[in-house]
Structure 1
């Protein structure tokens, strides 16, 4: 096994065996990382790169929206869905206008949600 494939296998196993709350946090962190990368790109000069990074963040937010289980707490999931929808609208605005400014709004929402989920103790809420 090559060292790269060993590292990939290790990372995959770490994700597969992670508690759901840790996976959720990793998704938020990934979306925020892609937004930071997109914000560092001049969308007027490198639209394809900008759109790709924003698209990766949007894919994660889409996954977060699709994974919502509305049955246990319909009001909470309705509010989360509205926040995710807002974030996606800001991402779409950034791509449509080739302007990184709307990314800050989406990032702020995701950071706030990450902070909230991070306040939950992993030991008691796996």
Structure 2
């Protein structure tokens, strides 16, 4: 019953979130799944590592599909997401912790910058 309540709460969060909040949730989700992948890689549980990295890849695809191509910066984000996707696939194939750390760093930077931009936009609005 408690898990059902938590799932309902999460679903409500997603369905009522602004696009900016959804992007922040995606960044946080990617970080969470990379952390899970790193932990399972350390445990040598390669099936769980693979599962977690597939979730990260799906998040990257979602971030790529949500870009508004009419803005010039979208091209730069797209290139960066493509790079992160390639590195995530490579980390999955090689079971490479260093690559996971690299990609996690990018997600943390994106998340922190995005969060700051949301605060600035809210204070100006």
* Mapped contact 1:43–1:50 kept (Cα < 8 A): no
Partners in 2 of 1:44 and 1:93 — Cα distance? Answer: 19
> What residue in structure 2 maps to residue 78 of structure 1?
75
* Structure 1 range deviating more: 23-32 or 115-124: 115-124
* Mapped contact 1:44–1:98 kept (Cα < 8 A): no
> What residue in structure 1 maps to residue 52 of structure 2?
53
RMSD: 2.1
Give structure 2 stretches of 5+ with no counterpart: none
Displacement of 1:31: 0.2
- Deviation beyond 4 Å, 4+ runs, structure 1: none
Change (3 A) 1:36 1:4: closer
Helix, strand or coil: the match of 1:40?
helix
Give structure 1 stretches of 5+ with no counterpart: none
The size of the alignment, in residue pairs, is 123
Displacement of 1:123: 3.0
Partners in 2 of 1:107 and 1:98 — Cα distance? Answer: 15
Could you state the TM-score of these two structures normalised by the residue count of structure 2? Answer: 0.87
Could you state the TM-score of these two structures normalised by the residue count of structure 1? Answer: 0.86
Displacement of 1:43: 6.5
